[in-house]
């Protein structure tokens, strides 16, 4: 992936780095520092073909690396002030009088500083006059694996799990170790290693049957400053020890969890805590006992609190047995309706994990109105790096622009500037803990992510959680240079492909924010009515007159009322609503004219014909790279693009035919519709 450490051939750059790295001093008895030092050694050896000459004393070194405590006596006042202004995981890299300093507030900070320095080397930046002070914007920068013990990965599109195989935790943990290197290099500091749906056998992960081996995994991650979390089954006391109830207010149940948590921390002293999917898609939860989510989360929070453990409670709670005839129930409303009334009731070590949109990681959704709506409850936003609804790592879909749009969304919760980015950074309400989580997209495929170019989503996810102000283009450039080298042509062309890909995917799939229309169950490929008469609450309501979901206050489900002004007004009033979300909020006739001047039906035809052509353009761009690319990666991506073209064709023709048949309105340009 992006840690290939290709040799630097430019003599000038190579000399510059060799000069800076002449005599390096670094303290090395801590596992995190050891990993960081090791990474620097690998990078320098491979990129500069050079063995670092480690110095013993700070005085003898021309590159000094360490945390601020151990370097206290050697730092200048200015450096101390800079560090004091940075978070624990922050660092500085500076050159003063020919001597370079890489100092972290903590060992984790040192590690992030080293990764930063390596990245500069990969980007061939001039190292002679560095003045960097950096820190993560978000406290929680988390990855969720949806891996199961049988080796499968729920919504995994990159082969099997790297953690489990055939009902066992893998013996050879080399791949897990590499994953830790990748994650730490992009700033990730927390990982949950099992699926949020905790099945029968995985329920026993919190018992001595599995804890010794989970501890081994935890140790690998913690040597990269990544804390390990487990998803738990809310009904564990019943499943594991035959208790008659899992009622969170029952004394015996509380004691059971207390003992359980003590046992876990015996094995893993820096264990992060639990992720809980409760009362969601048939998973057990407090509702069974007439308790609410605060009761459930707080019971676990109390027993984790003495160990600094956290409860990450997911808000993906909705009625998944809806009657499609029932027009009053609106799944989009569910998370807000369930959780907003509970604001103020959650303990300080509970974080609510909220999906970025109110439905489920569609190619286009509005931002979840629950984000920021609870001033006294810690929140984490959840993204999906795995491309469940965005092409499943067969189709190219660079998701950074989507996430950036979400993070930039201004909720106006506390007046202008209350963006999602500031909310999850804990700057709008004073959250004790907050940040960003996402579902991982990796598996045991040789290239980790199924589609080689899907690596950019994982890379970009990490970089964004660290610094949401990085642009989609900057992130793409960094990733391409580190992964494919810095040939101008390769850079320009892959960048163009990545940056256009989200829009292209949207063009040939479900139009104007309406979502779904995918094959039920697998979620790849078109099936326009696949979810229309189902129990999942995901409808488009297309009839012969028009399409879309009326979520307005006056005539619809009232979902728009969950937003603050002016967003409420903008979404609620048809003429104000942005085109891209029109069908999410309104039911309109096919001949309704969009702000862009096209009618809805003509827009559907136009975007679908265009989307397919754009995939052909992607193929042409890629094909033109054959002479500058290694054959393996060239052929691999070429093959994926071909499959994407077939998918786009199916989407184009099914969507166009469906709406032509429903509406009877012909395409203005007489293109082929079936
Ligand atoms: C989606 C996804 C499921 C997953 C669920 C969740 O519905 O299709 O596989 O379990 O989200 O986030 O819990």
- Three-state SS at 104: strand
Ligand 1 atom closest to Cα of 382?
A: 12
Tens digits of residue pLDDT in 587-635: 999 999 999 999 999 999 999 999 999 999 999 999 999 999 999 999 9
Write the pLDDT tens digit of every residue in 74-107: 999 999 999 999 999 999 999 988 899 999 999 9
- Report the nearest atom of ligand 1 relative to the CA of 280: 13
Characterize 504-519 residue by residue with b for buried, 16 or more Cβ atoms within 10 angstroms of its Cβ, and e for exposed.
Answer: bbbbbbbbbbbbbbbe
Q: How far apart are CA 625 and CA 490, in angstroms?
A: 7
Q: Cβ distance 448 to 1 under 8 Å?
A: yes
- The percent of residues in the chain predicted with pLDDT above 70, rounded, is 100
Query: What would the pLDDT profile of 123-152 be if each residue is shown by its tens digit?
Result: 999 998 899 999 999 999 999 999 999 999
User: 436: part of which helix (H) or strand (E)?
Assistant: strand 435-439
Nearest-atom index, ligand 1, CA of 523 = 8
**Looking at 15, 85, 266, 281, which residue is catalytic?**
281
559-580 pLDDT, tens digit each: 999 999 999 999 999 999 999 9
Name the residue at shortest CA distance from atom 2 of ligand 1: 155
Closest ligand 1 atom to the C-alpha of 155?
9
Identify the bridge partners of residue 102 per DSSP, sorted by sequence position.
65, 93
d(CA 411, CA 566): 9
pTM attached to this predicted model:
0.98
Give the tens place of pLDDT for each residue, 338-374: 999 999 999 999 999 999 999 999 999 999 999 999 9
- Compute how many other C-beta atoms are within 10 angstroms of the C-beta atom of residue 370: 22
For 408, the enclosing helix (H) or strand (E) is: helix 400-408
- Dmax (CA) for the chain in angstroms is 82
276 CB within 6 A, ligand 1: no
In a 13 Å sphere around the CA of 250, the CA atoms on its Cβ side amount to 17
For this structure, is 60 an active site residue? Answer: no
For the cut 80, the answer to whether the pLDDT of residue 387 exceeds it is yes
The CA-CA-CA angle for residues 112, 116, 117, to 5°, reads 120
Nearest one of 390, 408, 368 to 571, comparing CA atoms: 368
Q: Give the residue among 345, 344, 298, 294 at the shortest CA–CA distance from 317.
A: 294
- Residue 565, exposed/middle/buried by CB under 10 A (0-12, 13-18, 19+)? exposed
Q: Using the 8-state DSSP alphabet, how is residue 106 labeled?
A: S
Convert the pLDDT of each residue in 48-69 to its tens digit.
999 998 998 998 899 999 999 9
* Cα separation, 458 vs 442, whole angstroms: 8
Query: What whole-number distance in Å separates Cα of residue 209 and Cα of residue 215?
Result: 12
CA distances to 101, 263, 268, 304 from 203, rounded to whole Å, are 47, 15, 17, 18
Distance 276 CA to ligand 1 centre (A): 13
For the CA of 195, the nearest atom of ligand 1 = 10
Angle between helices 488-508 and 600-623 (to 10 degrees): 150
Mean pLDDT value across the chain: 97
Provide the pairing of β-strand 53-54 with 23-26: parallel
Question: In this structure, are residues 467 and 186 in contact, taking their beta carbons and an 8 Å threshold?
Answer: no
pLDDT surpassing 90 at residue 28: no
DSSP 235: T
SS3 520: coil
Ligand 1 and 360: CB distance under 6 A: yes
Is residue 348 flagged as an active site residue?
Answer: no
Catalytic residue among 89, 360, 382, 422: 360
Query: Is the distance from the beta carbon of residue 196 to the nearest atom of ligand 1 less than 6 Å?
Result: yes
Selecting among 39, 147, 388, 422, the annotated active-site residue is 388
Residue nearest to atom 12 of ligand 1 (CA): 316
382 CB under 6 A from ligand 1? Answer: no
Cβ–ligand 1 distance for 277 under 6 Å, the answer yes
With a 6 Å cutoff on the Cβ, whether 336 touches ligand 1 is no
Q: How confident is the model at residue 375 (pLDDT cuts 50, 70, 90)?
A: very high
Beta-carbon-side half-sphere exposure of residue 101 (alpha carbons within 13 Å): 27
650 part of the active site: no
How far is residue 312's CA from residue 196's CA, in Å, rounded to a whole number?
A: 11
pLDDT at 97: 85
- Tell me what the mean pLDDT of segment 658-666 comes to: 98
Q: What's the rounded mean pLDDT across residues 20-36?
A: 92
Instruction: Indicate if ligand 1 lies below 6 Å from the C-beta of 316.
Output: yes
* pLDDT for 454: 98
Determine whether 289 is exposed, middle or buried from the number of CB atoms within 10 Å of its CB (0-12, 13-18, 19+): middle
Q: Residue 341, Cβ neighbours under 10 Å: how many?
A: 12
């Amino acid at each position: 992936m992006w840690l290939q450490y290709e040799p630097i051939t430019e003599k000038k750059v190579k000399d510059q780095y060799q000069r800076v790295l002449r005599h390096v001093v670094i303290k090395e008895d801590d596992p995190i520092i050891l990993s960081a030092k090791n990474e620097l050694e690998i990078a320098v050896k491979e990129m500069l073909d050079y063995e670092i000459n480690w110095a013993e004393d700070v005085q003898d070194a021309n590159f000094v690396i360490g945390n601020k405590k151990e370097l206290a006596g050697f730092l200048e006042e200015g450096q101390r002030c800079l560090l004091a202004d940075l978070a624990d995981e922050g660092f500085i890299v500076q050159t003063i009088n020919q001597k370079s300093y890489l100092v972290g507030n903590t060992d984790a900070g040192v590690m992030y500083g080293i990764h930063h320095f390596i990245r500069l080397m990969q980007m061939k930046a001039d190292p002679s006059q560095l003045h960097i002070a950096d820190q993560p914007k978000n406290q929680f920068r988390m990855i969720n694996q949806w891996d199961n013990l049988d080796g499968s990965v729920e919504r995994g599109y990159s082969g099997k799990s790297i953690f489990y195989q055939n009902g066992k935790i893998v013996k050879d943990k080399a791949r897990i170790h590499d994953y830790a290197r990748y994650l730490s290099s992009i700033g990730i500091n927390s990982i949950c290693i099992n699926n949020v749906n905790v099945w029968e056998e995985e329920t026993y992960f919190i018992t001595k049957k599995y804890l010794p081996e989970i501890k081994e995994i935890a140790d690998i991650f913690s040597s990269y400053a990544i804390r390990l979390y487990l998803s738990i089954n809310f009904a564990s006391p019943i499943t594991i020890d035959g208790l008659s109830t899992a009622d969170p207010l029952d004394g015996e149940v509380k004691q059971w969890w207390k003992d359980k948590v003590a046992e876990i921390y015996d094995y893993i002293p820096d264990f992060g805590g639990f992720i809980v999917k409760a009362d969601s898609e048939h998973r057990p939860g407090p509702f069974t006992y007439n308790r609410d989510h605060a009761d459930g989360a707080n019971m676990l929070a109390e027993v984790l609190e003495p160990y600094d453990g956290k409860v990450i409670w997911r808000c993906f709670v909705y009625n998944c047995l809806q009657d499609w005839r029932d027009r009053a129930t609106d799944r989009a409303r569910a998370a807000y309706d369930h959780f907003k009334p509970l604001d103020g009731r959650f303990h300080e070590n509970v974080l609510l994990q909220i999906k970025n949109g109110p439905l489920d990681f569609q190619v286009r959704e509005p931002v979840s109105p629950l984000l920021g709506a609870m001033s006294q409850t810690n929140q984490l936003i959840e993204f999906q790096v795995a491309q469940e609804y965005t092409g499943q790592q067969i189709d190219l879909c660079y998701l950074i622009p989507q996430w950036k749009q979400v993070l930039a969304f201004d909720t106006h919760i506390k007046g202008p500037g209350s963006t999602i980015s500031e909310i999850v950074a804990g700057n709008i309400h004073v959250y004790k803990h907050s940040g960003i989580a996402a579902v991982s997209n990796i598996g045991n495929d040789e290239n980790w992510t199924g589609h080689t170019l899907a690596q950019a989503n994982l890379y970009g996810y990490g970089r964004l959680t660290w610094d949401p102000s990085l642009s989609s283009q900057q992130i793409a450039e960094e990733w391409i240079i580190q992964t494919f080298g810095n040939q101008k042509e390769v850079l320009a062309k892959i960048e163009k492909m990545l940056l256009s890909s989200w829009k292209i995917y949207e063009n040939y799939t479900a139009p104007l924010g309406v979502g779904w229309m995918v094959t039920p169950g697998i979620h790849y490929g078109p099936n326009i009515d696949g979810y229309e008469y189902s129990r999942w609450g995901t409808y488009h309501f297309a009839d012969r007159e028009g399409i879309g979901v009326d979520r307005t206050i006056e005539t619809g489900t009232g979902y728009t009322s969950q937003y603050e002004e002016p967003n409420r007004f903008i979404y609620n009033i048809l003429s104000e609503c942005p085109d891209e979300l029109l069908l999410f909020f309104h039911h309109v006739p096919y001949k309704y004219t969009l702000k862009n001047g096209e009618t809805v039906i003509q827009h559907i035809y136009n975007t679908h014909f265009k989307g397919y052509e754009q995939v052909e353009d992607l193929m042409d761009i890629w094909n033109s790279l054959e002479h500058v690319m290694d054959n393996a990666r060239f052929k691999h991506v070429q093959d994926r693009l071909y499959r994407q073209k077939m998918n786009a064709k199916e989407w184009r023709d099914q969507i166009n035919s469906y709406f032509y048949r429903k509406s009877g309105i012909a395409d203005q340009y007489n293109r082929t519709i079936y």
